[in-house]
Structure 1
Amino acid sequence: MNNKLLLSLVALVLSLVVAGAYFLDKHHISAAGELGPGSQSEGIAPLAPASGELAAVAAPEAEPERKAVQDAAPPPVGKVVRKQSRLPKDVCWVEGRIVFPAKLPSDAGDVEVTARGRRFGGKNDPRREYAVGVSREGRFRVAFSSSTRRGWIDVEGRYLYMAEKLSLKMSELPPEVVVEPKLGGVARGRLKAPPGEQWNDETVAGGKVTLSKWSGGRWAKTVPLEPGGSFEITAVPPSTSYNLSVHTALWMEHEESGVTVKSGEVTELEGQVAKGAKVRGKIVGRAGEPLAEVSVELMCDPTEGSWHHQTVQTEADGVFLFRGVVPGEVVLTATAQGSLAVKKELGLLREGDVRGGVTIELDQGRSISGIVRWGDGTPAGDAWVTIEQDKDARTIAMMIGKKDSQRTAADGSFTISGLEDTICVVRASSRAVLSADKKRSEEARAKGRRGLLRRRGSTHRIKLEDIQPGTTGLILVLEPGDRVTGKAVDDLGEPISRFLISAEPQTGGPSTLDKDDGFQRIVITLDGSFAVDGLRDGAWVLSAHADDHASSEKVVITSPGAGEVEFVLPRHGRVHGIVRGPGGDPVSGANVQMEAAAEGEPQTIEIMYGNWGGKATTDGEGRFEAKDIAPGRKAVYATSEDFGQGLPSYITVEPGATLEGVALRLRSPAGILGQVHGAVGQVARREITIRGQDGVNHRETVTSDSSGRFEVEGLSPGKYRLQLQAPEEPEGRVAGSGLVQAYVSSSREDLYQNAIQFVVLEEGDRERVVLGAPLSNPVQVSGRVTSAGEPVPGHQVHCTSEVDRSRNRATVVTDSEGQYSLTVAGQGSYIFRIGSGRNTTESTHELSQATCRIDFELPAGSFSGSLLGAGGEAIEKGNLKLVRYQDTAGEAVPQKARAVSSASDGSFEFEYIEPGRYFLRASDSPRWAWNQDHGEDLGAVLIDDLVFAEGESRSGFEVQLEIGGLVTGTVLGADGQGLSGAKLKLTTSSGHELSSRRTSRSDWSGGFSISGVGPGTYFLQAQKNGVKSQAQKVHISSSSEVSVQLVLDTE
């Protein structure tokens, strides 16, 4: 072959390559115009095979198309949008087509199909996905690993999204894979930098923008922040209740609620990021040396919004830095392994503040050291030692006390520091080494190999209580504990080979056990038999769990002497069915939910914030397969973004069976067209909350447009409550009072400022609602609030209709002369409350004219004092309730609690109290309150027989809380078995209920536990279905525990 001919052939090949690349590049959706189903593109060749039928095949090696893909060339359908490295020979090809929405926006751009299955190269190749572009006709061809049994296909474009990925069973592929993505929207915007700042590489770096929602199903998408503070989030499902969150590394987080995204539209957003405050400091040891890798947590009680939390680690020089701190009261807590947690209050930080030079010194605190040994006296190396104690300084991770743990050295020794001066619980545990494993390990080491020692023997444990920090030479001897044996079988009696045993101390059992003694054990066996050891003496609740089976019933055993236990785990069932729309057409992408439904009981489906998660999703033909269904009666229903939630159908699932032919129907969605009435003043950007009522699960917030209009779509039929929220800068604020008129505008007193409406929607309804319209039959009420003849300024006056409490109500604030004026809807009986929260004076009045005057003379009495802890320290945000139960003549009166919280110095005050006899309940703040550091479980107290004369003012009253006690026990029925759901009530000798911080009920086994009981003598009683047990007298002292058994005859 001569050189000219060779050059000509090379040129021809290069021309074909360029032409082919150009040709393939035309196989994706263009942004030139709108495209829909069946759109044609000039110059695109027909697909091969011409029939369009697809097969999932392992293409022969000689096949040119497959060879091209292996060589990383574009596949014949669409284009590879991500670089695909060489694929294995035995991939499985799947072709299909996309049914586009009827109309796509002109800027739709490219569409991408992603296939996900098992790894292409097994364990050595982590790739699971194969992504390609889509041709103009919607055709695509993707690859799965040949080992894939079930794969998933996802579609995403600028506007297109999949509500649920399409699931494909590779052994049962349909003749044609059809994918129907939905038409979503785009949210984009640009944020302004804080005043005096600008966007640059440093301020943008690490920034991210998240759009999320809860209503109608959890959805979230995060994208990086682009230069100049811009962002664009594509393929967003339409909704009116999105939250936008912008995070930057240097400035405050920016949030915006009520963002609306519509199908086929671009939502433009804007906002300005605030700089926030900055905190810089250093963590050092006692000698002043810098400490690295110390965790520093910042907690902020902000001046506006919800609490704020950040955590950073110190650098090598001990320095830490917080940026973008929300203005408010700031507290730092530093924690490090082996050191005490140290808390430092920084006080109030404002926007732009820079707080530097913060130094926190860590101290190792107290320590406990000792040795862990086996029962024969040999050291127990590599055993776990855990120490528990309540700690004053608590971070989010230490809310309920921190556990410090450590493995023992080879000689069994341990030292754990960072302890406070409070008593500790010390635990140690280890699994024994079987003699055969020990022998194999020794032989391997003799041959120069590692000889790892496997611990497969029984678990040995030890627990020591009331150990003082500073203890040295503590000896912990591991004990084998008791053993329970048994068998796990399914409903047919067949043994289960792999399952999990859960062991938990019984509630109300012996005091030697607590929840931290519980454990779980995985069992692998051929005949279903098991042996669980390490049970300490006491009452235990055991249960078994296994894949593809429902959990066993719980069994109560007593150790020692547990004996044999048999667990029966019924096999899961399956449910096959179809979901249809209101017109009878199958619905793809519908979510199928199931809930347990007791026989004869009405079923109310309640899933927080709507339908998220579920048992199955329908395919392109509306069919679903729900697996892993526990046997029993179920309520099954379907939800979909395009339709209203369907009514539940009731089915019974049998163990191991497949229930066929379940048909579910979705209902036509309803909507609300709303308008904020101009009479309220501001109509633009007003927030409206929509909440479902009477079993309808929906919660959403929308924002009105510039003309006051708002719209809510996709609602399930049912009842809804709409409420117009107060504007960000409401009228009616009283200078210095800090109180805002909640419902009535001060400028137009004949209008609601927070209007409430209820609507009942039928299938397909589009209800029109006006919020804030003038009252049709207004009644104006005015008057003056005084005490001892003097005006009471800045006090709230609440007025609520006894007939329509949810809507017909108003709240205003008295002016400097104690005057008030409000408007309600219509004449009738109204309840007036003077005060705020639960610290109010209440009376009922009849409004019989269009204009009424009602003056209020508040009692002149008052009661103030301090709430103190066991050591005399002030308790902040403690709960105090003052209850009047007799008048001055000794006659009983309806009890009504007036509640206040103690201030930062522990002080409290009840104002305007009537003469009579009272009792006072007091307890400290909830244990979950992050900023409360009492470090003790203080008990609630009840102080009785507080008598106040007319106009009496009592001050300086000290309420001291002692460390509380614990009341545990069991409620038994007439048959001697544990009785669940019984309410436990602790009362004083005068019959007043202590009201612990939560209502206690007996659990499934009849056990109960009431914590936080202050020292004293009480009477304990159980009650269920109107039947009460005999009251038993119990005496509680500080830190004590009392166990009681109650018998309740409910027959």
Structure 2
Amino acid sequence: MRTRLALALALVVAAALLWLHGRATPGAPPVAARPAPARLAVARPPARVLGSAPVVASSAPDGKVWLSGHVRDEQGQPVEGARVRALHGRQDEPVEGARLPALEESEATTDASGAFDVAVSPGPVSGEVEAAGFVTAELSVRDSARETAEVTLVRTCALVGRVELATTGAPVAGARVLAVLTDSHDLDSLPTVTTDAHGRFRIEGLAPGRYKPWASTPGRLGQASGSVSLRAGTESEPVVIRLLGVHRVRGAIRKIPPGQPCTNGYVELRASDLHVPSLRAAADPGGRVDLEAIPAGTYSVHVSCSHNVVQASQPLLVARDLDGVVFDFDLDVPLHMDLEARARGHAHGTVVDTRGEPVPDIGFSLRCGSTESTGDTDETGAFRALVPFEPCQVQVRWGDEALTVLEPRAPVSFTPESIREPLRVVVDASLFAFLSGTVSQAGAAVAGARVMAVCDGRDADSAFDGETDAGGQFRVRVRRAGACWMRAWRDEHDSMAAGPVEPDGSLALELQAPGGLRGAVSRPGGAPASLFTVELSPLLHGVELQPRRYETFFGSDGRWQLEGIGPGDYRITAGYGEESTRQEVHVAPGGQGELHLTLEPPEAEGDEAEGDEAEGDEAEASPPAASPPAARPE
């Protein structure tokens, strides 16, 4: 299933390219309105005077406090002229339905030392910090009266290259190019540019990360042969995107019953059995849609009008260009109304152990009669849950382990008055143990490295993780049972698996240089796969961890390449539609491995025919077996 999710990225990108071809973005579900922020025009306090007397600042406006802070770049240098936008003045009331104060907005600009002062309401503050040449960063403070804001801005990157035809190598002018992060399916606001007369493009203002750009013109689609890792303030080497021929689907939305026109309409195609949006095109005022670059395949059809979405009962097979397709919009969905009126409020509090230490990242639930409110504590052990005003039993869990709640033992009866007071939950945390140690690279401590531990288990539920501090030290909470193995990574550098170590033990982990993998993927009949995904999941003591890398490859030769892979053991999965294969592989420090993979067809269910293989060699991206189309040409 994860392979299918990754495959959907290729199709989503094509949809985003179409979406950006001179159209507004329609069809988004309605968002609940909220009061517009009220801007607070308050002058910055006068410069503070240093001397033998204490530093004194001017008084804040009535009802406000000064939120102070600094903005620095990724190297710790001050950023002058950064714009700080703070939203404040709204706090969730504990009782549902209580009137909330209007949200206010205040602004400030950093001085030469990167410092700022902004007048805000006491309490939580959110917002953003931006400066030219830097990625916009989040501003978040839990208590403006007691905390300061320390914000780090990271310099932006640039991606450059050219687009050409795969058949002739001729440059393609006017192609739309999108910068896609390989580890994200969020395509709502992709940085996009158009190639010049020589097929060249430049995308600026990117956040650091690994990108794999895509490009399209009507009837053609392509991507870079490999991904590009961009670090803060850098520009990529020129990448080449080669366009291959795909299909074009044109048609119109027809409302049933006929009458009012389809407003804010769009058609979205999704690859069979995937839950990630794939291809989408907006409808013009007459309901006409043009999906300009669709790889061959079988898709479910989703049609939207006036923010309502319906799905066709049968999929659509795309094996050639289609024109005059009718997309029926038949809205016959009964609305469900919960008529049960129960007064509710937000319970809040902290989970601590017997020593009074907060227990972060722990699951809790409040079981109140027939309802249950669940969640996780934050990094301070705090929790918040919407509950009815009736007796509720407190339960705390860590993974599949239930912790003994020492206080309160009896159900808690919430009322509109008592729910305003924080609830203190004390648990027996004796099953916890901690692994500690350091992460370094070439003898230097590494801050912000991810550390993973697997203890006395052979499944993913036995994996625990943490992160190193500024001194490269870590402390990972694990179950107090059996031996543990550990692995660390930062960016594209990994440590080899280390262990065993007993709970409450310590390890020193050393990051090593990354390597790479490349090879080819073939379909069951031996033909090169033209559209497929490669997913790479780290292995730690036989346990498969969350995928580290998954990339989509689109081309005519079935070749694939992954660079910047930390050393260690991995499970690699390749997939195309319902066809997939898995294999374990070891990556040596700084090494390059070659791996050829052959996809296996899905197991037949009952008497169903495996119709893929007969058609496997016909097209550049031949489709899986298809059901009769629901949306059909007229």
TM category (shorter chain) comes to 0.5 to 0.7
> Are 2:35 and 1:248 equivalent residues in the alignment?
no
Find the counterpart in structure 2 of residue 908 from structure 1: 475
1:814 is matched with which residue? 405
Shift of 1:659: 0.8
Quick one: which of 490, 494, 497 aligns to 1:942?
Answer: 497
TM (normalized to structure 2)? 0.52
Q: Whole-Å Cα distance in 2 between the matches of residues 347 and 545 of structure 1?
A: 39
Alignment CA distance shift 1:614-1:733 (3 Å): farther
Q: 1:661 and 1:334, CA in 2 relative to 1: closer, same or farther beyond 3 A?
A: closer
Aligned to 2:462: 897
Query: Secondary structure at the residue paired with 1:865?
Result: strand
Work out whether residues 643 and 668 of structure 1, in 8 Å CA contact, stay in contact via their aligned partners in 2.
Answer: no
- The match for 2:339 is 674
Unaligned runs of 5+ in 1: 1-163, 166-213, 221-240, 252-272, 284-290, 361-392, 404-426, 430-458, 460-481, 489-495, 508-518, 525-529, 533-540, 558-564, 678-682, 687-726, 757-770, 783-794, 801-809, 824-835, 841-855, 886-892, 928-936
2:465 & 2:261 partners in 1: Cα distance?
54
Matched, 1:625 2:190: no
Aligned residue type for 1:921: R
Q: Does 1:960 align with 2:509?
A: yes
1:351 matches 2:144: yes
Query: How far apart, CA to CA, are the structure 2 residues paired with 1:309 and 1:246?
Result: 6
- Residues 329-383 of structure 1: CA deviation (Å, up to 9, x unaligned): 999999888xx99x9xx9988434697xx9x9xxxxxxxxxxxxxxxxxxxxxxx
Deviation at 1:899, TM superposition (A): 1.6
Deviations 1:760-801, CA, capped at 9 Å, x for gaps: xxxxxxxxxxx96999xx9x9x9xxxxxxxxxxxx934798x
1:970 alignment partner AA = G
- Structure 1, residues 799-844: CA drift from partner, whole Å, max 9, x if none? 98xxxxxxxxx9886226xx85679xxxxxxxxxxxx9xxx9xxxx
- Partner letter of residue 373 of structure 2? N
Conserved? CA contact 1:295–1:314, under 8 Å:
yes
**1:881 equivalent among 435, 447, 453:** 453
| Greater length-normalized contact order (CA 8 Å, ≥ 6 residues apart) | 2
* CA drift at 1:752: 3.9
Distance verdict in 2 for CA 1:911–1:869, change over 3 Å: same
Q: Could you tell me whether the CA contact under 8 Å between 1:1002 and 1:1008 is conserved in 2?
A: no
Deviation (angstroms), 1:616: 1.5
Query: Does the Cα contact within 8 Å between 2:534 and 2:574 map onto a contact in 1?
Result: yes
Contact 1:593 1:614 in 2 (8 A): yes
TM-score, normalised by the number of residues in structure 1: 0.34
- Deviation of 1:1013 after TM superposition, in Å, equals 1.5
* Counterpart selection for 1:869 from 430, 435, 440: 440
| Alignment partner, residue 920 of structure 1 | 486
**Whole-Å Cα distance in 1 between the matches of residues 281 and 403 of structure 2?**
46
1:21-58 deviation line (CA, Å, top 9, x unaligned): xxxxxxxxxxxxxxxxxxxxxxxxxxxxxxxxxxxxxx
Distance 2:83 2:436 in 1: 36
The answer to whether the Cα contact below 8 Å between 1:971 and 1:1048 also exists between their aligned partners in 2 is yes
Q: Distance in 2 between matches of 1:750 and 1:900?
A: 35
Contact 2:247 2:318 in 1 (8 A): no
Which amino acid is the alignment partner of residue 466 of structure 2? S
Give the secondary structure class of the aligned counterpart of 1:351. coil
Cα distance, 1:543 vs structure 2? 8.2
Q: Is residue 575 of structure 2 the alignment partner of residue 575 of structure 1?
A: no
Q: Summarize deviations over 1:302-321 as a string: whole Å, max 9, x none.
A: 9x99xx99985457999854
Which residue in the other structure is 1:796 paired with? 396
Are 1:278 and 2:67 counterparts? Answer: yes
Deviation at 1:863, TM superposition (A): 4.2
Q: Give the conservation status (yes or no) of the 8 Å contact 2:515–2:588.
A: no
After TM superposition, the structure 1 = structure 2 runs for residues 984-999 of structure 1, keeping only pairs within 5 Å, are: 984=536, 992=542, 995=545, 998-999=548-549
Corresponding position: 1:500 with 2:91:
no
Whether the aligned pair in 2 keeps the contact of 1:918 and 1:945 (CA below 8 Å) is: yes
1:616 is matched with 283
**Contact preservation (8 Å) 2:539, 2:571:** yes
Q: Distance in 1 between matches of 2:224 and 2:70?
A: 54
By how many angstroms is 1:641 displaced? Answer: 4.8
User: How has the CA–CA distance of structure 1 residues 921 and 336 changed in structure 2, closer, same or farther, with 3 Å as cutoff?
Assistant: same
2:269 is aligned to: 596
With over 3 angstroms needed to count, the CA separation of the structure-2 counterparts of 1:1023 and 1:945, relative to structure 1, is farther
Question: Is the Cα–Cα contact under 8 Å of residues 743 and 812 in structure 1 kept in the other structure?
Answer: no
The residue identity in structure 1 corresponding to 2:366 is V
Q: Distance in 1 between matches of 2:404 and 2:26?
A: 35
CA deviation string 1:153-210 (max 9, x = no partner):
xxxxxxxxxxx99xxxxxxxxxxxxxxxxxxxxxxxxxxxxxxxxxxxxxxxxxxxxx
Larger Rg: 1
Which of 25, 28, 32 is matched with 1:217 structurally? 28
Write the deviation string for residues 586-634 of structure 1: whole angstroms up to 9, x where unpaired.
2334444323366xx46x77659xx9x8521666xxxx22245446666
Q: Kindly provide the amino acid, as one letter, of the partner of residue 396 in structure 2.
A: Q
> Offset at 1:908?
1.0
Partner of 2:168: 486
Paired with 2:522 and 2:465, the residues of 1 have a C-alpha distance of 40
Q: SS state of the match for residue 588, structure 1?
A: coil
Shift of 1:1046: 0.8
Question: 3-state SS of the aligned residue for 2:332?
Answer: coil
**1:381-402 Cα distance to aligned partner (Å, 9 max, x none):** xxxxxxxxxxxx951x53xx75
CA distance in 2, matches of 1:520, 1:216: 25
Structure 1 residues 669 and 902, CA gap change in structure 2 (3 angstroms): same
Q: Which residue matches 1:704?
A: none
* Letter of the 2:28 counterpart: G
CA distance in 2, matches of 1:973, 1:218: 41
CA 1:917 to 1:556, structure 2 compared with 1: closer, same or farther past 3 Å? closer
Q: Equivalent residue of 1:869, what SS?
A: strand
Q: CA–CA distance in 2 between the matches of 1:944 and 1:311? A: 51
State the AA in 1 paired with 2:439: L
1:550 aligned to 219, 225, 229, which one? 219
User: In the TM superposition, what whole-angstrom CA distance separates every residue of 1:73-123 from its partner, at most 9, and x where no partner exists?
Assistant: xxxxxxxxxxxxxxxxxxxxxxxxxxxxxxxxxxxxxxxxxxxxxxxxxxx
Q: Number of paired residues?
A: 465
List runs of 5+ in structure 2 lacking aligned partners: 1-22, 43-61, 73-77, 93-103, 183-192, 202-211, 227-240, 376-386, 413-424, 601-634
Q: CA deviation at 1:1009?
A: 1.9
Aligned with 2:533 (options 969, 978, 981): 981
Given residue 351 of structure 1, which amino acid in structure 2 is its aligned partner?
S
Residues 595, 605 of structure 1: 8 Å contact kept: no
In 1, distance between residues paired with 2:263 and 2:571?
51
On the 8 A contact 1:629/1:653 being kept in 2, the answer is no
Q: Which residue of 2 aligns with 1:322?
A: 118
Residue equivalent to 1:1003:
553
% same residue? 8
Structure 1 216/873 Cα, relative in aligned 2: closer, same or farther at 3 Å? same
> Shift in Å at residue 919 of structure 1?
1.5
2:464 partner amino acid: A
Distance in 2 separating the partners of 1:247 and 1:640: 34
Match of 1:295? 82
Alignment of 1:1036-1047 (within 5 A): 1036=589, 1040=590, 1042-1047=591-596
Q: Judging changes above 3 Å, is the alpha-carbon distance between structure 1 residues 994 and 641 closer, same or farther for their aligned structure 2 residues?
A: closer
CA change 1:274–1:215 in 2 (3 A) is: farther
What is residue 475 of structure 1 aligned with on the other side?
none
What amino acid does structure 2 have at the position aligned with 1:920?
Answer: M
RMSD: 6.5
| Distance of 1:330 and 1:922 partners within structure 2 | 32
Which residue does 2:416 correspond to in 1?
none
Provide the rounded CA distance (Å) in 1 between the counterparts of 2:409 and 2:594.
56
Is the CA contact (8 Å cut-off) linking 1:591 and 1:638 kept in structure 2?
no
Q: CA deviation at 1:963?
A: 4.8
Residue 671 of structure 1 aligns to a residue whose secondary structure is coil
Q: What are the within-5 Å matches in structure 2 for residues 3-18 of structure 1?
A: none
- Determine helix, strand or coil for the equivalent of 2:366: coil
Matched letter for residue 576 of structure 1: A
1:744 aligns with 2:366: yes
Give the corresponding residue for 1:172.
none
Name the SS of the counterpart of 2:562 in structure 1.
strand
